[in-house]
Structure 1
Amino acid sequence: MAFHEVRFPDDISRGARGGPERRTQIVELASGDEERNASWANSRRRYDVAYGIRRADDLATVVAFFEARNGRLYGFRFKDWADYKSCLPSGTPAPTDQLIGTGDGEATAFQLVKTYASGAQSWTRTIAKPVAGTVRVALDGAEQLGGWSVDATTGVVTFDMAPAMGAAVTAGFEFDVPVRFDTDALDVTLDLERLGSITSIPLLEIRR
């Protein structure tokens, strides 16, 4: 996958709009009843960052970023200010936030994930782009200050020694969303003051 490990400017992404999208097929029967089927097992996020452009300098920054990514060709990191932590937005990531696996005495690699739960239902999201320096790990609730490493480009935590059988492997972290531009053209409008604007700059989450 063609990907640049660079983050879209935070001061512009803060004003973006967007969030998760799912694909559901709905068939209405002659009786008026419905049959619903999920076409996607996982959600996919879409954003529009045009709303974060407030100055001419912001516009120039986005155009430069777009050109450096060759339009839709290269993916990049994006901070979703509404959802970028393993905990609630008001909290600080803790090493016990998310269960990422259970030790079996052999496995040493565990993928970072975030679980979204409501009532008895939940959905688990793979976290592939953790923010370097923010990941904390615990075994059975005890934070591990060493003996492990994390790949910030894949979100895989690797232990020097396999966690013991039955040990709860947990982690806390901040993360980015892997995205790409969903257009190969930026429609820039220059006003009389030459400040400029772009009506829409769509981004689409990259799923493997």
Structure 2
Amino acid sequence: MDRSDMAFFDAIFPERISREAEGGPRFLTSKAYASGGQRITNRDATYPKHEYSIAHPPRAQADFEALRAFFYVVGGDADAFRFKDWSDFRGRVDNTTATPVAGVANTWQLCRTYTFGSRQFIRPIYKLAAGCQVIRVRDGVETVLTAAPDVSTGRVVIAGHAAGDVYRWSGEFHVPVAFKDPAAVWRVLGGHKLITEWSGIELEEVRL
């Protein structure tokens, strides 16, 4: 659900636990079938939302303690936070771009590009990790810009733009997500270590 009043906790979900996640993008589409059997589809939203499920229990009690504390400080499903999708967290010069932000002078949105054959999908990236660099390609020459992108919005202000300039970037990025459920359900396993299990954790991407 999109919630404009959702607060954002600018911290990353425990990375040792996010390694266990399953999930990916889900497109919002609708479909119908004509009387002749033809399949008719419509993309109801330009961009998909990513969803993740963590079905495996923490491997150590320290992992559970971090996860429980994280759940408390974000208020269950109240606040969003950063999540590292280990399958797709790096932007490289050969798979990124930047697009002009409509109505905002000299401002560009950093994006991740996915190319297959003659088609290309451009995904805006809003939550950058620290250390991202923006590269300008002018007349085939690459130059690293001194302008630093905003890690909270994925935007960068660029001065001296000239027609034909192309911008790319490199660095890591995160997905803004929130817990789907306001409740947590865990149980203490037997054995002398008394490891606490919390399975079935569901996360969903949010638009902020």
> TM-score normalized by structure 1?
0.85
- The SS at the match of 1:18 is strand
Using the alignment, how far apart are the partners of 2:197 and 2:149 within structure 1? 40
- Aligned match of 2:18 in 8, 13, 16? 13
Using the alignment, how far apart are the partners of 1:139 and 1:98 within structure 2? 12
- Aligned match of 1:186 in 162, 184, 187? 184
- Aligned match of 2:78 in 73, 76, 85? 73
Using the alignment, how far apart are the partners of 1:38 and 1:153 within structure 2? 28
Using the alignment, how far apart are the partners of 1:55 and 1:84 within structure 2? 25
Using the alignment, how far apart are the partners of 2:133 and 2:28 within structure 1? 32
Structure-2 residue corresponding to 1:42: 47
Which amino acid is 2:155 matched to? Answer: V
Structure-1 residue corresponding to 2:150: 151
Deviation at 1:116, TM superposition (A): 1.3
Structure-2 residue corresponding to 1:130: 128
CA contact (8 A) 1:128 1:154 kept: yes
- The SS at the match of 2:64 is helix
Deviation at 1:97, TM superposition (A): 4.3
Structure-2 residue corresponding to 1:89: none
CA contact (8 A) 1:114 1:125 kept: yes
Structure-2 residue corresponding to 1:175: 173
Which amino acid is 2:184 matched to? Answer: L
Q: Which has the higher strand share?
A: 2
Deviation sequence 1:13-33 (CA, Å, 0-9, x none): 111111111122221334332
After superposition, the CA RMSD in angstroms is 2.0
CA contact (8 A) 1:136 1:173 kept: no
Deviation at 1:145, TM superposition (A): 4.6
Deviation at 1:4, TM superposition (A): 1.0
Report % sequence identity: 30
Using the alignment, how far apart are the partners of 1:40 and 1:145 within structure 2? 33
Which amino acid is 2:34 matched to? Answer: L
Which amino acid is 2:164 matched to? Answer: G
Structure-2 residue corresponding to 1:206: 206
| Matched residues, number | 196
Deviation at 1:109, TM superposition (A): 1.4
Deviation at 1:73, TM superposition (A): 1.0
Which amino acid is 1:85 matched to? Answer: R
Deviation at 1:107, TM superposition (A): 4.2
Q: Which runs of 5+ in 2 are unaligned?
A: 1-5
> TM-score normalized by structure 2?
0.85
Q: Which runs of 5+ in 1 are unaligned?
A: 87-92
CA contact (8 A) 2:99 2:111 kept: no
Structure-2 residue corresponding to 1:54: 59
Deviation sequence 1:137-163 (CA, Å, 0-9, x none): 2232422252x121111111112x231
CA contact (8 A) 1:188 1:197 kept: yes
- Aligned match of 1:31 in 36, 45, 57? 36
CA contact (8 A) 1:75 1:179 kept: yes
Runs of 4+ in structure 1 over 4 Å off: none
